[in-house]
Amino acid sequence: MAILEIRITELAYSDIQEIESYLFKSSPSIGRSFTEKIFRKIELLYDHPEIGRIVPEFRESSIREIFQGKYRIVYLILNSNRIDILRIIHGSKLIDLG
């Protein structure tokens, strides 16, 4: 059985940094805690790559999303060996895949 690789794109890393920075202003511990929750949610994909729903805007079975709080973790299933995390954005924002 092949090992699944999950890659976080530069755009998604930038999203994480912005979210953490924003939350850090209110409380440093909340910012760090939320970032940890995002990474734990992403780790679920190792065992359940299709756990997320198909992103309604794209209606493509390989582009899916899972939620952490009000944030959408948008990912692309490239094949059975690789997933790319594309964006992590607030649910009220439109998705721009860059």
Residue 96 placed within a domain: no
Q: Which residues pair with 75 in a beta bridge?
A: 64, 85
Decide if 76 contacts 83 (C-beta within 8 A): yes
Tens digits of per-residue pLDDT, 17-38? 999 998 888 888 888 899 999 9
Structural domain count of the chain? 1
pTM of the model: 0.91
What is the Cα–Cα distance from 84 to 78, expressed in whole angstroms?
7
Rg (CA), the chain: 13
Instruction: Note whether residue 31 is domain-resident.
Output: yes
Residue found by looking up tokens 């607030």 in the block = 90
Q: Let me know if residue 98 belongs to a domain.
A: no
| pLDDT tens sequence across 41-75 | 999 999 999 999 999 888 899 999 999 999 999 99
**Position 35 in a domain:** yes
Reading the block at residue 97, the tokens are 């895949």
14 lies in some domain: yes
Structural domain boundaries enclosing 61: 5-90
- Cα-based torsion angle of the residue sequence 4, 98, 11, 16 in order, rounded to the nearest 10 degrees: -100
Reading the block at residue 58, the tokens are 């794209």
- Report if residue 32 sits inside a domain: yes
CATH number for the domain that contains residue 64: 3.30.2310.20
